[in-house]
Amino acid sequence: MSVLLILEASNGKIKRASWEALAAALRLGPAEGITAVVIGAQTEELAAEAATKPVGRVVRVEHPLLAHYTADGFCIALQQLIQIEGTTQVVIFAHTYQARDYAPALACRIGQVLIGDVVGIEDGPVFTRQLMQERLNGSYRHSGGGPCFVSVQAGAFRADGIDAQPKAASAPITTFAPTINSAQIRTRPGEPFRGSAQTVDLNSAQRIVSVGRGIKDPANLPMVQELATALGAELAASRPICDNGWLPMERQVGSSGQTVAPKLYLAVGISGAIQHLVGMKGSQCIVAINKDSDAPIFEVADYGIVGDLFEVVPALTEALKAAKQ
């Protein structure tokens, strides 16, 4: 199977999600058939990194106009590459924000349709993706001639198994210089920036650690803050905590505060009264820590730990720090 694996880099390193896409690609065929692609203006180091992985070859798509990501630049460059390659059967991406921005356009230029956000690959190949807010699975198949475009959901395939795969010492690297002129790049991207550091923006936080009355004393908040930091999460609270002034009102989650829907919501010492629930029930994954096994929060939680939060929270912080290693 001739697979074109498009790697994405961030801060000079290939993203983990791209290696997960490699793991997915290895399901489709052996490493020899996989051509890893790095794109940019300076791709030497990226290519070297890619060459150490179980891939058949590495292609550097390099052009000054590809220094910053633009949909036009990447589409033009990759379309030319695919044309030159000629025999590609599958083009595979990690399903990142960037890939979502240009891969469908690229596929369209080649008369194809992306099968995006794939969570499983069966023989066929048949690609599985989730429908109806992850309540159903759909099996997709590509038909007709031309390459099949696939993007792979982050975390659906494990990247850590790759290095154990048999591979050649180092894959050969070639360079391809696409023809792009600046008039073809129609969008002007600016520098990335963070949301304002001053204001608390719970709405855009991907992870939130929320405290309730179980915390008992404001002196115990630093312990929870440590957990939040280890998790890369924002700190939030239920109403009584904000009422007491232990945390500012902007951090209140609930019917009279903010409504949030992060990927991960960790409720520490929160009982789960309705006024709080309505503010966070949309969270993708809810974890509850409470010493009362009957606390209503456990009804909506995906994972729960019934225990003393003064023991569980530090233990969790430790475990997270260890996992980062």
Partner 1 sequence: MKIIVAIKQVPDRDAPVRIALSANWIDERDLQWAMNEPDAYALEEALLLKEKAGGEVIVLSAGPERVGSTIREALAKGADRAIHILCDDLSARDALGVARLLAAAIKPENPDLVLTGLQSEDVGLGQTGVIVAELLGLPHSTMILQVEKIEAGFKVKRELEEGWFQSIELPTPAVLTMQSGGNNLRYATLMGIKRAKTKELRTVNAAELGVDIGSVVMLERITAPIKQKSTQILPGSAREAAAALVEKLKTEAHVL
Partner 2 sequence: MRAATPLLGRRFRQVKFGKAAFLVRPSSIMTALLPNLAEPQNFSTTERLLFLALTAASAYGFCRRFWPIVSNILHSKKDPEFHLFPIGRRVHDFVWEVMIQAKVIRERPLAGFAHALVFWAFCAFALVTLNHCASIFGLGFLNPAGRVGRFYFDFAAVFAVACAVGILGLFLRRFVTRPRWLSEVSWESGLIALLIFVLMVTYLAAFFVPGASTAARALWWAHTITLLAFLPVIPHTKHLHLLLSPFTIFLSRGGFAEIPPLADDEDFGLVAGKDLTQLVSLQAYSCVECGRCMEHCPANNTGKLLNPKEIVLGLRGYLNEYGPASEEPLLGKYNAQEAVFECTTCGACEFQCPVGIEHVPIIVGLRRGAVNTGAWEDDHGAKLFLALERGSNALGMSTTERDKFVEKNTLPLFDGTQEYCLWLGCMGAYDPRGRDIVVALVKVMRHLGASFGVLRKEKCTGDPVRRLGNDLLFQQLAEAGLEALAQNRVKTIISICPHCVRTIQEDWKAYGTPPQVEHHSEFLARFVNQLPPAQDHDKIVFHDPCYLGRYRGVYDEPRSVAALAGELVEAPRSHERSFCCGAGGGLVFLGEEKGQRVSHVRADELAATGASVVGTACPFCNTMFQDAFAAKGEVAPELMDIAQLAARGLPE
Q: Give the pairing type, strands 13-14 and 9-10.
A: antiparallel
Q: Compute φ and ψ for 260, nearest 5 degrees.
A: -125, 155
Query: Which one of 37-45, 51-59, 200-208, 266-274 is the stretch in contact with partner 2 (CB under 8 A)?
Result: 266-274
Query: Which one of 51-59, 69-77, 202-210, 271-279 is the stretch in contact with partner 2 (CB under 8 A)?
Result: 271-279
Return the residues of window 289-308 that contact partner 1 according to CB under 8 A.
293, 298-299, 301-308
Please list the residues that pair with 223 across neighbouring strands: none
Nearer to partner 2, 210 or 317 (CB): 210
Show the tokens assigned to 118: 């794939």
Which of 41, 67, 84, 108 touches partner 1 by CB under 8 A?
108
Q: Are 6 and 93 in contact (CB under 8 A)?
A: yes
Picked from partner 1, partner 2, none, the partner binding residue 64 (CB below 5 to 8 A depending on kind) is none
Query: Which one of 23-31, 78-86, 135-143, 213-221 is the stretch in contact with partner 1 (CB under 8 A)?
Result: 135-143
For residues 258-272, one letter each, b for 16 or more C-beta atoms within 10 angstroms of the residue's C-beta and e for the rest, the string is: bebebebbbbbbbbb
**195: alpha, beta or left? (left if phi > 0; alpha if psi -120 to 50):** beta
CA of residue 162 relative to chain centroid, distance: 18
Binding-site size for partner 2 (CB under 8 A) equals 18
CB of 170 to partner 1, least distance (A): 30
CB of 197 to partner 1, least distance (A): 11
- Mapped onto helix, strand or coil, the DSSP state of residue 170 is coil
Site residues, partner 2 (CB under 8 A): 213, 239-240, 243, 249, 255-256, 259, 272-275, 277-278, 281, 296, 299-300
